[in-house]
Amino acid sequence: MSEYQLISDYRQIEKYKESFNELAKQVFELDFKEWYNKGCWNDNYICYSYVDGDQVIANASVNKMVVVSDGKEYNAIQLGTVMTHPDYRYQGLAAKLTNHIIKKYEKDYDFIYLFANDTVLDFYPKFGFEQVQESSFSLKTSDLKKKKAKKFNLRKLDVNNKVDFELMKEFAAERIPVSSILGVKNNEHLLMFYFILVFNGAVYYIEEEETILIFKQEDNLLHIFDVISKKRVEIDSILNGIVSADIEIINFYFTPGYDCKNIHTELITESDDQLFVRPLLKDGTRHFLFPLTSHS
């Protein structure tokens, strides 16, 4: 194997940034360009890459954030964007990058975690990661704690509107965790990624609640992807203000707080995103789900 150069933290170096993006498009069909052109690549997202000449051929990225679990704050690293160019696979590059990152960060952070698909479930345990089962959360609207509430005036936010974009950035930077059971903060870069590239067209502002909501309706289902606020909000009140008569089930893509009653939970047995943690967190939370908008 040729000796490739290991580089990192190159968000200001155009040739490497462009090459990283080309690899992401090829491997994951992900285009980061709009995200970083809008200034959302900050110091909490660090790429570790092997280059052959000026070409990024393998990468593993670090996402620094704070995870709140059962009210306690943990400094965490999420590993993501692990990819290798097809021409350079089977040389152990992803393993070398993973080892490098573990060695660099394990002493200064409480834990490292990642989400993996079923093609690499045997890969990460070699590095001390343990698979952890998450849960799904849903609520029948018939079980929703009814409150007298007028329907909210929802304003759809547009990332290409300067005022809306600044509002999104402000809330992404200052949000509090959606739940004290399990939530995240200091992950502005990831939340902006979801605003810009994943849920563009599904982001709404509730002015009277000073809350941003990401949701979609699909027939009789309401999918709540995130509730973003700078202050504590009552999920029940939010739901009562947006649920229409034809909605029967509300699906949550995060862990609802203790104030949200009558929630149905069950362990997720099949998922494209399996959670791996190193070292394993020993806590009392049986049912939890990392917020979808915090996945890298």
SS (H, E, C) 225-281: EEEEECCCCCHHHHHHHHCCCCCCEEEECCCCCCCCCCCEEEECCCCCCEEEEECCC
Full residue range of the structural domain in which residue 223 is found: 137-266
Q: Is residue 235 part of a domain?
A: yes
SS3 call for 106 = coil
What is the pLDDT at residue 59? Answer: 98
- Whether residue 163 is predicted with pLDDT greater than 70 in this model: the reply is yes
Q: Which two tokens stand for residue 98?
A: 């993973």
112/200 Cα distance (integer angstroms): 29
Please check whether residues 12 and 115 belong to one and the same domain.
yes
Same domain? For 166 and 65 the reply is no
Over 60: is that where the pLDDT of 288 sits? yes
Residues 152 and 124 in one domain: no
Name the DSSP letter for residue 160.
T
The structure's pTM equals 0.94
147 pLDDT tier (thresholds 50, 70, 90) = low
Task: Check residue 261 and give its pLDDT.
Answer: 84
Is the per-residue pLDDT at 285 higher than 80? no
In the prediction, which pLDDT does 266 show?
Answer: 94
What phi and psi, each to the nearest 5 degrees, are found at residue 186?
60, 35
More confident call, 95 vs 152: 95
Residue 255 in contact with residue 182, Cβ under 8 Å? Answer: yes
Q: Are residues 124 and 40 in the same domain?
A: yes
Distance CA 71, CA 163 (A): 33
Contacts of 172 (CB under 8 A, 6+ apart): 188, 191, 192, 195, 228
Nearest to 111 by CA among 79, 76, 80, 78: 76
Dmax over Cα atoms in the chain, in whole Å?
A: 68
Residue 248 and residue 195 share a domain: yes
Is residue 1's pLDDT more than 80?
Answer: no
- State yes or no: pLDDT of 186 exceeds 80: yes
Q: How many domains does the chain contain in total?
A: 2
Mean pLDDT of 25-37: 97
Residue 94, φ and ψ in degrees, nearest 5 = -65, -40
- Structure confidence at residue 259 (pLDDT): 79
So what's the pLDDT on residue 198? 96
Same-domain check for residues 115 and 141: no
Quick one: 153 and 66 in the same domain? no
- Quick one: pLDDT at residue 127? 96
295 in a structural domain: no
Measured CA to CA in angstroms, residue 295 lies from 126, 129, 278 at distances of 22, 17, 16
Tell me, yes or no, whether 296 lies in a domain: no
Assess if residue 83 is contained within a domain.
Answer: yes
pLDDT at 148: 63
141 and 67 in one domain? no
Regarding whether 147 and 241 lie in a shared domain, the answer is: yes
Question: Residue 185 domain-assigned?
Answer: yes
pLDDT, residue 282, reads 64
- 81-139 confidence digits (pLDDT tens): 999 999 999 999 999 999 999 999 999 999 999 999 888 889 999 999 999 999 999 99
Same domain, 258 and 281: no
Compute the distance between CA of residue 136 and CA of residue 251 in angstroms, rounded to an integer.
8
Q: What is the CA radius of gyration of the chain?
A: 20
What is the spatial distance between Cα 128 and Cα 106, in angstroms, rounded to a whole number? 11
Q: Same domain for 238 and 150? A: yes
> Does residue 284 surpass a pLDDT of 60?
no
- 72: domain CATH number is 3.40.630.30
pLDDT for 188 equals: 97
As given in the structure block, the two tokens for residue 212 are 């941003």
- Report the pLDDT averaged over residues 28-35: 96
Question: Are residues 278 and 202 part of one domain?
Answer: no
Q: Check residue 145 and give its pLDDT.
A: 77
List strand residue ranges (DSSP E) for 22-122, in order.
45-52, 55-69, 72-84, 111-116
CA distance 37 to 109: 29
Band of the pLDDT at 260, cuts 50, 70, 90? confident
What length does the chain have? 296
Residue 183: partners with Cβ closer than 8 Å, 6 or more residues away: 67, 68, 176, 177, 254, 255, 291
**pLDDT of res. 280:** 75
Q: Tell me: the pLDDT tens digits for 48-97?
A: 999 999 999 999 999 999 999 988 999 999 999 999 999 999 999 999 99
